[in-house]
Amino acid sequence: MKIAVIGVTGLVGLEVLKVLEESTIFHHTELIPIASNQSVGKMVEFNKETYEVMSIGDGYEANPDIAIFSAGTEVSKAWAPRFAGSNISVIDNSSAWRMDENIPLIVPEINAGILNRKNRIIANPNCSTIQMVVPLAPLHKEFKIRRIIVSTYQSVSGTGQRAVNQLENESKGKKGDMAYPYQIFDNVFPHGGDFNETGYTSEELKLVSETRKILDDNNIRISATVVRVPVFNGHSEAVNIEFEEEFNIDDVREILNQTDGVIVEDDIPGLKYPMPINVRGKDEIFVGRVRRDFSNANTLNMWIVADNLRKGAATNAVQIAEFIVRNKLI
């Protein structure tokens, strides 16, 4: 098995390498590390071996079995179809293909079963979408979601290394390159992605459209507000869910406890609830503050936290790759 990682020197690309190393399926994989021209020739470590980073053209010629793209929308649009046309399974972390009706948008715990051998490009959802839909999917199946109101509290690593550097510099009182229009240290701003004419941002609209596609229900009403917070890694979400059916709070907890990839951390007397500082490096999605919203019928509040570089990106992509291999879809 040969796996190409495009964007291998970025935050997500490096995390993909870690997750691949932890995978029993890909433990003996040959790596094809690919990055931009600025990074060609650099060395990366994988499974105790050293690999030289190559250009995307050379990586394509190496004919991998699977290619995990984490290099941005433009690279994915230009190269993913070429890889797919050579019968290479492409798993794309960008937003390039997510809403293409012919491209599956996959969270393995929810809808990997729709994949078949014809799917040569598979889209990985937005990090905030992934961590929200995994606990919501079984609740939707049981009680039918009518409306979702979500506010996210997103870490700077979701923006990339420049944003991480900005927060590091500002926390030390240093001036440097800025990824954001404002200081992020000791600050919070309601801005993630690009604003459009409606006043919503691209990050907020992704939560709407991707959630509907993954849950296969365009009737769900969704309103999102994205907030950037001075946290290095780990996204948090306050989610309010209105169901069509009445629910018992104990049944909700039981469903969440039985959901693959979800850990319920909700001990109010012990002051235990999910926090970004505790989820880093973990693949699970943590859910707490599970409680009824008494202001509206059939409505639930939850607090959801996950490592946005792991399950929000790298882990989900590798889990898709594992599903492809296990089910012989290559």
Q: What global pTM score does this model have?
A: 0.96
The pLDDT of residue 124: 98
Q: Of 14, 15, 17, which Cα lies nearest the Cα of 26?
A: 17
Show the 3-state SS of 224-241: EEEEECCCCCCEEEEEEE
The pLDDT of residue 28: 83
Structure-token match 């699977």, residue found:
66
The pLDDT of residue 86: 97
B/e letters for 298-308, b = 16+ CB within 10 Å, e = fewer, are: bbbbbbbbbbb
| Gyration radius (Cα) of the chain, Å | 20
Domains of the chain in sequence order = 2-124+313-326 (3.40.50.720), 128-308 (3.30.360.10)
Which one of the listed residues 27, 127, 140, 191 is annotated catalytic?
127
Would you call 140 a catalytic residue per the annotation?
Answer: no
Per-residue pLDDT of the chain (330 residues; tens, 9 = 90+): 999 999 999 999 999 999 999 999 997 899 999 999 999 999 999 999 999 999 999 999 999 999 999 999 999 999 999 999 999 999 999 999 999 999 999 999 999 999 999 999 999 999 999 999 999 999 999 999 999 999 999 999 999 999 999 999 999 999 999 999 999 999 999 999 999 999 999 999 999 999 999 999 999 999 999 999 999 999 999 999 999 999 999 999 999 999 999 999 999 999 999 999 999 999 999 999 999 999 999 999 999 999 999 999 999 999 999 999 999 998
The pLDDT of residue 3: 98
Which one of the listed residues 27, 28, 140, 235 is annotated catalytic?
235
Would you call 127 a catalytic residue per the annotation?
Answer: yes
Helical H segments across 115-186, by residue range:
127-143, 161-171
The pLDDT of residue 27: 78
